[in-house]
């Protein structure tokens, strides 16, 4: 990757027009504001610069833009929390619009503006991890853990462990990921951090699916459901991951029923891409070619998407195509998955894609759907009922 000619240049590259120029300038202003002690901030900027920029307004960014203008117009009148909140809002907006490096820039500025906040450091690491900037992410995770320890912030400490574990998982470092997830689970259990305990068991579920430890995965799914409870906003994602387990175990009809219950809760395009690909794989396992083709179209329409889930989605489409005997389609999707995963350093996803290519080349027989065990059917029923209750009008 070529070095950028100056700090914040990626914002100008990604965000078009006047808004991009404004955010680039304010990114540089916030960096300077954060580097200077409070007593010296009064003379950093010319006040008219902030007033002139008040004409820049973009709806949902209205409030953070006003705060970023105040960095210039009233640099001594803002708290670190106000500036970091504004930067976080811009980072989330940028992420939702696929301005990946702009999101990272403002997430890091948020952590820089409030340098003792461990959760902001971990959040900056997450943004970098999603963009496959692993060394950059690790520095932020290490900082988040150190700050959490220093401030005895138990929640932030567990969150940093989970985020670091997710990065290890994404890179295919399974033993390291398991160590971090188990460590987070034990810490959460010790200090009665129920939400984070649920997240740890949820992550262990996903890891066990990846490694083929299906019995352990089922236990983690049941434990995570108990810890989350029936009303938790992450329940749809747990249902999705549990359905993925059953799909890979060869219970596609059970998986499809749970996927269908979870899908209405997913609105972000990058998350929906992952769901649709997994639905496509389950449909293929159930020999529903029509529904597989619908999922295939949805995923192929996103080939130019910067989503961190694209390589994984292509793996599932490749698997589905193989299950339906669509050899050329399976080869194409698996090859694309392999190449995209390799480019992002996602060793586990790359290995999955290679395994599918090997199955195709060796002519491995395609499995038939199986009958799920009672414990799987019981958990599926509980998940579906909980999601139906969440979806019901109140």
Q: Which pair of structure tokens corresponds to residue 388?
A: 């139906």
CA dist., res. 362 & res. 216, Å (int) = 30
Asked if 45 and 77 touch (Cβ cutoff 8 Å), the reply is no
Please provide residue 209's backbone torsions phi and psi, each rounded to the nearest 5 degrees. -60, -45
Query: According to the model, what pLDDT value does residue 3 have?
Result: 42
Q: Which pair of structure tokens corresponds to residue 383?
A: 């998940």
- Identical fold at 128-228 and 236-394? yes
- Give the 3-state secondary structure of residue 173: coil
Query: According to the model, what pLDDT value does residue 2 have?
Result: 37
Task: Give the right CATH number for 128-228 from 1.25.40.10, 3.40.430.10, 3.40.630.30, 1.20.950.20.
Answer: 1.25.40.10
Closest among 245, 320, 312, 249 to 282, alpha carbons compared: 320
Query: According to the model, what pLDDT value does residue 142 have?
Result: 95
- Cα Rg, the chain, nearest whole Å: 23
3-state class percentages of the chain: helix first, strand second, coil last, to nearest 5: 80, 0, 20
Domain range summary for the chain, segments of one domain joined by +: 1-115, 128-228, 236-394
* 148 burial level (CB within 10 Å; 0-12, 13-18, 19+): buried
The packing angle between helices 194-211 and 214-228, to 10°, is 160
Half-sphere exposure of 106 (CA within 13 A, CB side): 27
pTM for this prediction: 0.85
DSSP result, 154-218: HHHHHHHHHHHHHHHHHTT-HHHHHHHHHHHHHHHHHTT-HHHHHHHHHHHHHHHHHHT-HHHHH
**pLDDT, one tens digit for every residue, the chain (394 residues):** 334 445 667 888 899 888 898 999 999 999 999 998 877 777 777 655 545 454 555 567 888 998 998 888 888 888 999 999 999 999 999 998 889 999 999 999 999 999 999 999 999 999 999 888 999 999 999 999 999 999 999 999 999 999 999 999 989 899 999 999 999 999 999 999 999 999 999 999 999 999 999 999 999 999 999 999 999 999 999 999 999 999 999 999 999 999 999 999 988 887 889 999 999 999 999 999 999 999 999 999 988 877 788 999 999 999 999 999 999 999 999 999 999 999 999 988 999 999 999 999 999 999 889 899 999 999 999 999 999 999 887 6
Closest among 73, 102, 76 to 89, alpha carbons compared: 102
**Into which CATH architecture does domain 236-394 fall?**
Alpha Horseshoe (1.25)
CA dist., res. 31 & res. 105, Å (int) = 10
CA angle 235, 236, 237 (to 5 degrees): 90
Asked if 196 and 347 touch (Cβ cutoff 8 Å), the reply is no
CA dist., res. 63 & res. 59, Å (int) = 9
């Amino acid at each position: 990757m070529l070095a950028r000619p100056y700090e914040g240049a990626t914002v100008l590259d990604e965000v078009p027009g006047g808004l991009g120029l404004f955010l680039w300038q304010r990114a540089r202003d916030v960096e300077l504001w954060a580097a200077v002690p409070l007593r010296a901030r009064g003379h950093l900027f010319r006040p008219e610069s902030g007033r002139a920029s008040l004409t820049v307004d973009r709806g949902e960014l209205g409030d953070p833009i006003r705060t970023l203008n105040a960095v210039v117009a009233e640099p001594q009148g803002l708290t670190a929390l106000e500036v970091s909140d504004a930067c976080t809002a811009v980072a989330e907006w940028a992420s939702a619009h696929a301005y990946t490096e702009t999101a990272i820039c403002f997430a890091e500025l948020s952590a820089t503006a409030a340098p003792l906040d461990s959760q902001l450091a971990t959040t900056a690491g997450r943004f970098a991890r999603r963009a496959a900037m692993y060394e950059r992410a690790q520095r932020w995770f290490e900082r988040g853990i150190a700050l959490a320890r220093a401030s005895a912030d138990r929640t932030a400490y567990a969150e940093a462990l989970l985020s670091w574990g997710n990065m290890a998982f994404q890179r295919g470092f399974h033993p390291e990921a398991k160590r971090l997830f188990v460590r987070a689970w034990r810490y959460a259990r010790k200090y009665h951090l129920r939400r984070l305990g649920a997240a740890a068991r949820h992550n262990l579920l996903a890891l066990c699916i990846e490694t083929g430890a299906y019995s352990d995965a089922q236990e983690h799914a049941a434990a995570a459901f108990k810890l989350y409870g029936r009303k938790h906003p992450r329940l749809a994602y747990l249902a999705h991951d549990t359905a993925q387990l059953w799909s890979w175990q060869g219970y596609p009809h059970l998986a499809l029923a749970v996927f269908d219950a979870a899908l209405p809760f997913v609105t972000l395009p990058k998350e929906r891409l992952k769901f649709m690909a997994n639905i496509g794989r389950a449909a293929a396992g159930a020999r529903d070619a029509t529904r597989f083709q619908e999922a295939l179209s949805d995923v192929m329409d996103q080939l130019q998407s910067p989503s961190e889930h694209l390589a994984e989605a292509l793996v599932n489409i490749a698997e589905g195509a193989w299950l339906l005997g669509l050899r050329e389609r399976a080869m194409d999707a698996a090859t694309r998955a392999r190449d995209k995963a390799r480019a992002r350093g996602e060793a586990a996803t790359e290995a999955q894609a290679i395994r599918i290519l090997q199955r195709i080349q060796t002519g491995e027989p395609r499995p038939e759907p199986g009958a799920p065990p009672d414990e799987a059917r019981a958990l599926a029923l509980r998940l579906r009922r909980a999601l139906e209750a969440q979806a019901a009008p109140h």
